[in-house]
């Protein structure tokens, strides 16, 4: 166990970061960092109304010059927790009764959230028809902040668990490489005793995520089949996606084809007898003019705006109706909903999924492991609940009156965030914006929102941030908040078969402390990496 003085010393790094640099040192590090980014694919396509068919230029991704200090013990703790989270969400996705109750259209979130309702309704119809592929693949990311109330040591608290289109695995590996390069080439000018190579952990996220996709491809059983990446049109973040494609080919001899929902609406077909999924392509590219698909990997499909008409929904359902292994299945996407995250904090729910050997078999988790998982939760509740913060207040919902869940959110607004069932950033409501938002929220929509206590980050941690594409591309020193994400994958679904799962790397996203949202692609954060400090 660390002594109190050692723990305090390590924690103090959070409040004394980054080291002081001269203007000449900042300029040189900025040149080295941006040159490394362009040389190693740490890039975005530039903003454009329409991206050209063949990329003509690129900009470097937004970057932090220094890695962000993070207690070594909490970093390792987050890696251990990922194995439990992999199993937990695999089991949630397999529990149709639970998902029907929480996310369905009868009494669940799908009743008041049209997007969730459309996905759930389609999934229910597919189940009634009979799904032919029992396997699910999940590529996951669990996001954390250091909770550091005044006078207290940091603890690890989960922001959210992501089950669809988890991004920045490839670019996070590149960013870790960038910071290791800066340390090796400059030692960061000996400005901090913490900037030693052993404190820069390796990050092999590309290989880790590709291993999960390759495991699904192998389980499908046809080595000549391809993996389908479902992507957004005019995607700028291609340099985060392509390295997975390259790794699949180089290490696993697996080919990838990329198509959008609209393209798949014309190209995807199912064999009526076998439900084999085939995607058509030019005979110039493949002699048969079509490709059999083993695995469907969604880097799209997480937001309502991607389903402009019923055609996109029907394409999504066609892919799930097939023999191909979906990553994620609709069930697994629904499992990642914020309402599920809230329900997991309720008494007995973790025990049901992680300690019920009769229902689930092995692996089982003991009380200490469940307690460690539970300690990563912040307090949260649904806006539709009564005084027990568990049961919906049906009287308040029917009368239109303000129930206890809403009243409590008003009372504690300055320490809360409200979250809907959405991914991709920019959807939440924070602090003093909460009361006026509640004034306009129809009572019937309360069920789609949860209230979550805000995590209190360390006050005073800084970094030098670099963004491309503006008039001033110099590094800017700001007070920041850094979010750690741990990647993992799980392949599961065969009755009686074990869940195959692994922890698969990590990322750090850093933003100015004044920004509530955290998305890199949405412009709020920059890419960063970890500097381990003992404590």
Task: Specify binding-site residues.
Answer: 141, 160, 162, 164-167, 235-237, 241, 299-302, 338, 419-428, 430, 452-455, 483, 509, 511, 517, 520-521
* Residue 457: strand, helix, or coil: coil
Annotated binding-site residues for substrate read 141, 164-167, 235-237, 241, 299-302, 509, 520-521
**Cβ atoms within 10 Å, residue 235:** 17
| 167 tagged catalytic | yes
Three-point CA angle 249, 254, 260, nearest 5°: 95
Choosing from 122, 265, 424, 523, the catalytic residue is: 424
| 211 tagged catalytic | no
Choosing from 339, 419, 446, 500, the catalytic residue is: 419
Choosing from 167, 192, 376, 525, the catalytic residue is: 167
Choosing from 162, 170, 192, 294, the catalytic residue is: 162
* Residue 371: strand, helix, or coil: helix
| 242 tagged catalytic | no
| 473 tagged catalytic | no
For residues 99 and 334, the answer to whether their CB atoms sit within 8 Å is yes
Distance in angstroms (rounded) separating the CA atoms of residues 391 and 393: 6
| 424 tagged catalytic | yes
Which among 247, 241, 267, 362 has a CA at the least distance from the CA of 319? 267
For residues 200 and 19, the answer to whether their CB atoms sit within 8 Å is no
Pairing, β 525-528 against β 530-533: unpaired
First to last CA, the chain: 9
Annotated binding-site residues for ATP read 160, 338, 419-428, 430, 452-455, 483, 511, 517
| 338 tagged catalytic | yes
E strands, 415-513, are: 416-419, 429-430, 450-453, 462-466, 476-492, 500-512
Distance in angstroms (rounded) separating the CA atoms of residues 403 and 397: 7
Choosing from 72, 338, 500, 502, the catalytic residue is: 338
Q: Output DSSP code: residue 385.
A: B
Annotated binding-site residues for Mg(2+) read 160, 162, 423
| 141 tagged catalytic | yes
Cα radius of gyration rounded to whole Å, the chain: 23
* Residue 88: strand, helix, or coil: helix
Choosing from 91, 142, 160, 173, the catalytic residue is: 160
Choosing from 72, 91, 111, 141, the catalytic residue is: 141
Choosing from 247, 321, 446, 509, the catalytic residue is: 509
Active site residue ranges: 141, 160, 162, 167, 338, 419, 423-424, 509
């Amino acid at each position: 166990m660390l002594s109190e003085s050692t723990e305090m010393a390590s924690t103090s790094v959070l409040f004394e970061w980054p080291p002081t640099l001269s203007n000449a040192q900042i300029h040189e590090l900025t040149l080295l960092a941006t040159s490394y980014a362009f040389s190693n694919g740490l890039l975005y396509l530039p903003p454009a109304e329409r991206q050209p068919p063949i990329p003509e230029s690129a900009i470097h991704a937004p970057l932090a010059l220094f890695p962000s200090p993070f207690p070594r013990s909490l970093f390792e703790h987050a890696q251990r927790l990922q194995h439990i989270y992999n199993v937990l969400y695999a089991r949630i996705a397999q529990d149709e009764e639970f998902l029907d109750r929480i996310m369905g259209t009868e009494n669940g979130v799908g009743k008041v959230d049209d997007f969730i309702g459309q996905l759930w309704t389609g999934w229910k119809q597919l189940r009634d028809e009979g799904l032919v592929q029992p396997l699910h693949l999940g590529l996951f990311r669990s996001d954390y902040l250091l909770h550091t109330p005044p006078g207290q040591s940091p603890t690890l608290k989960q922001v959210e668990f992501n089950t669809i289109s988890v991004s920045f695995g490839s670019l996070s590996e590149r960013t870790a490489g960038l910071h290791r390069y800066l340390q090796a080439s400059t030692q960061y000018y000996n400005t901090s005793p913490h900037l030693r190579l052993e404190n820069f952990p390796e990050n092999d996220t590309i290989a880790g995520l590709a291993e999960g996709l390759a495991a699904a491809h192998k389980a499908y059983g046809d080595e000549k089949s391809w993996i389908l990446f479902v992507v957004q049109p005019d995607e700028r973040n291609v340099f985060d996606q392509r390295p997975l494609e390259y790794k699949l080919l180089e290490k696993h001899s697996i080919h990838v084809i990329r198509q959008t929902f609209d393209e798949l609406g014309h190209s995807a077909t199912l064999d009526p007898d076998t439900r084999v999924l085939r995607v058509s392509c030019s005979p110039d590219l493949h002699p048969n003019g079509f490709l059999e698909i083993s695995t469907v990997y969604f880097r799209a499909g997480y937001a309502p705006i991607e389903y402009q008409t019923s055609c996109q929904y029907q394409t999504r359902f066609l892919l799930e109706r097939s023999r191909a292994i979906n990553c994620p299945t609709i069930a697994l996407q629904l499992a990642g909903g914020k309402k599920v995250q809230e329900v997991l904090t309720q008494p007995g729910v973790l025990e049901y999924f992680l300690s019920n050997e009769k229902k689930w078999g092995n692996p089982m988790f003991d009380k200490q492991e469940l307690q460690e998982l539970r300690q990563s939760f912040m307090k949260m509740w649904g806006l539709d609940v009564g005084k027990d913060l568990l049961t919906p207040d049906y009287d308040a919902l029917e009368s239109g009156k303000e129930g206890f869940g809403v009243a409590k959110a008003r009372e504690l607004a300055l320490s809360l965030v409200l979250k809907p069932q959405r991914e991709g950033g920019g959807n939440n409501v924070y602090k003093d914006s909460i009361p006026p938002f509640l004034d306009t929220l129809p009572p019937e929509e309360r069920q789609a929102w949860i209230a979550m206590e805000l995590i209190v980050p360390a006050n005073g941690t800084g970094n030098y941030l670099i963004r491309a594409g503006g008039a001033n591309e110099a590094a800017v020193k700001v007070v920041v908040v850094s979010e750690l994400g741990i990647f993992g994958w799980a392949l599961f679904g065969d009755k009686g078969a074990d869940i195959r799962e692994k922890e698969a790397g990590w990322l750090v996203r850093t933003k100015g402390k004044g920004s509530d949202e955290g998305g890199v692609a949405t412009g709020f954060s920059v890419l960063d990496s970890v500097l381990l400090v003992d404590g």
